[in-house]
Amino acid sequence: MLTIEDYRMKDRISKQELMELYQVDRSTIENWKRNYNLPLIEINSHSKFVRRDELIEWENNQTMKRDTQK
């Protein structure tokens, strides 16, 4: 039986999953967090994730910024 936490976890993307999704390394994700405000949440030094809806919003904002700079 699924718990509420199971449903919440489905809405989260781990740092490792981000690396695989975008085909980038750990340092790139950290760079995006530091310089481009990627909303990465750190639970502890080995557990980081982003909420799916926040990632979509972040992607949209990055696209808009890039488009306005052209």
Query: Tokens standing for 12?
Result: 């989260």
65 — pLDDT class (breaks 50, 70, 90): confident
pLDDT at 66: 76
CATH of domain 9-68: 1.10.10
Task: State the Cα–Cα distance between residues 41 and 3, nearest whole angstrom.
Answer: 21
Query: Tokens standing for 46?
Result: 């080995």
- pLDDT average, residue stretch 21-47: 92
50 — pLDDT class (breaks 50, 70, 90): very high
pLDDT at 64: 80
26 — pLDDT class (breaks 50, 70, 90): very high
Residue 31, pLDDT above cutoff 80? yes
Distance of CA 30 to the CA centre of its chain: 10
Judging by DSSP bridges, how do beta strands 41-44 and 12-14 pair with one another? unpaired
